[in-house]
Amino acid sequence: MTAFKRFVEVGRVVLLSNGRKAGRIAVIVDIVDHHRVIVEGPTTGVHRHVASLSQVTLTDISIKDLPRTIGTAALKKAIVKSGVVESWKKTSWAKKLEVRRIRANLTDYDRFKVMRLKKQKRFIVDRQLAAVRKTQSA
Amino acid sequence: MSKVTYKGSLVPGVSRYSRSQRFSKRGLYLIKSKVAGVKKVSQSKEKKPSTKSAVSDLERALNRKPSTLYPAESIPKPKQTRKVHSTATLRSSIKPGTILILLAGRFRGKRVVFLKQLASGLLLVTGPYKVNGVPLRRVNQAYVIATSTSIDISDVKVGKKFDDSYFKREQEEKLKGTEEEFFGNDAKKKETPSHKVADQKVVDSQIIAKIKSDPMLKSYLNASFSLTKGQAPHLMKF
């Protein structure tokens, strides 16, 4: 058992945390040195480039046995075959980011609707809860 | 740096020519209202119309008497302003039917419906009055947030009578010098004129019919806008 679960390795899926493509995922294709890696995400719109490890976040997902410096076309195939994008979307991390993005893009009227719906939900839940409590105490 | 030249002036505001020079240059002596003795000039012109030679020109130039009347003090002429007041261009996010959030005035925080822009550049808005208490009113577009929400009011008839003069304050009776003015017996409340109440109803009934198409829109317009903790208006979408 090792203490670490996520390694900087070829095939590791990373989340870009900085810059124009922030929020997209890519795959490590090669390792330049201790601080830099070459990443590419042909299905997520990330072109092949050197990224500093301080600008990317490692995820739990990786493509097994990905050869070093794989070409774009082959990488695309490998990504589709392994289904890393789908498994990324399933993680609660990705879901949280998605919700945050949606919330940030809500309009004023949308925010109002959310507020009203939350109120309605709260009303129903509280009512049911009170009814349950009453039966339990009786 | 290129040197700026002013044709008629030494520097802006200071004329190159004295007043009498300008008077003669512009031929103002030919204008009746400026000079009493117009007749003489016209007569002399009639007498010798065809003597247009270099010699006669020179002769005339030499014999021309400069005006003996000069102003004692030269009064500085104010600089001519070239600015023109024009109506403010409507923000592209504001279209008829757009819901606006008022930011200033006694209705600040209210969400209202934009109807049209007036000649003065101010925006004509309505609550509608029945929904949130905001009457037909003019607002400056600088003091509103335009939301992306809008209602289709293309077939709503907003009368042409709603112009800037419609919203002018009516002159009050002056109580100057009377006891009433001094002690301020302001017991009587100003009443909205009945024709304005009727106008409001005509516009509102049309708009409310549109609002009904969306079940939450009415309560949205009724609710007032405010920022909560952690909300930065410049980062939010409206």
- Mean pLDDT value across residues A6-12: 95
Full domain range(s) for residue B214: 88-168+195-224
The reply to whether B152 falls in a domain is yes
Q: What pLDDT does residue B148 have?
A: 95
The fold for domain A1-84 equals SH3 type barrels. (2.30.30)
**Mean pLDDT score of chain B, rounded to an integer?**
83
Nearby residues of B77 by Cβ (< 8 Å), 6 or more positions away: B13, B15
Tokens standing for residue B226: 């405010």
CATH number at B147 reads 2.30.30.30
CA dihedral over B120, B106, B108, B147, signed as positive or negative = negative
Q: Is B123 helix (H, G, I), strand (E, B) or coil?
A: strand
Q: Do A112 and B101 touch (CB under 8 A)?
A: no
Q: Which residue of B has its CA nearest to A105?
A: B237
Q: What pLDDT does residue B25 have?
A: 84
- Mean pLDDT value across residues B172-176: 66
CA B4 to chain A, closest CA, distance in angstroms equals 47
Q: What pLDDT does residue B152 have?
A: 92
B237 touches chain A (CB under 8 A): yes
Q: Is B92 helix (H, G, I), strand (E, B) or coil?
A: coil
Q: What pLDDT does residue B237 have?
A: 92
Q: Do A108 and B216 touch (CB under 8 A)?
A: no
Chain length of chain B: 238
Alpha helices in chain B (DSSP H): 19-25, 38-47, 54-63, 129-132, 179-183, 194-211, 217-222
- Mean pLDDT value across residues B21-43: 69
Q: What pLDDT does residue B175 have?
A: 63
Least confident residue range of A78-92, B59-73, B140-154: B59-73
Tally of structural domains, chain B: 1
List, for residues B201-229, the tens digit of each pLDDT value: 999 999 999 999 899 999 999 999 999 99
Q: Do A105 and B238 touch (CB under 8 A)?
A: no
The reply to whether B41 falls in a domain is no
Neighbour tally for B94: CB within 10 Å:
17
B132 touches chain A (CB under 8 A): no
Tokens standing for residue A60: 């739990």
Q: Which residue of B has its CA nearest to A108?
A: B238
Q: What pLDDT does residue B113 have?
A: 96
Q: B22 vs A79, which has greater pLDDT?
A: A79
The reply to whether B26 falls in a domain is no
List, for residues A22-70, the tens digit of each pLDDT value: 999 999 999 999 999 999 999 999 999 999 999 999 999 999 999 999 9
Q: Which residue of B has its CA nearest to A115?
A: B220
Q: Do B99 and A109 touch (CB under 8 A)?
A: yes
- The full DSSP string for A80-138 is HHHTHHHHHHHSHHHHHHHHHHHHHT--HHHHHHHHHHHHHHHHHHHHHHHHHHHHHH-
Q: What pLDDT does residue B5 have?
A: 64
pLDDT at A8 over 90: yes
Domain boundaries, chain A: 1-84
CA dihedral over B191, B193, B198, B200, signed as positive or negative = negative
Alpha carbon distance B6, B15 (integer Å):
9
- Mean pLDDT value across residues B188-203: 85
Alpha carbon distance B18, B14 (integer Å):
10
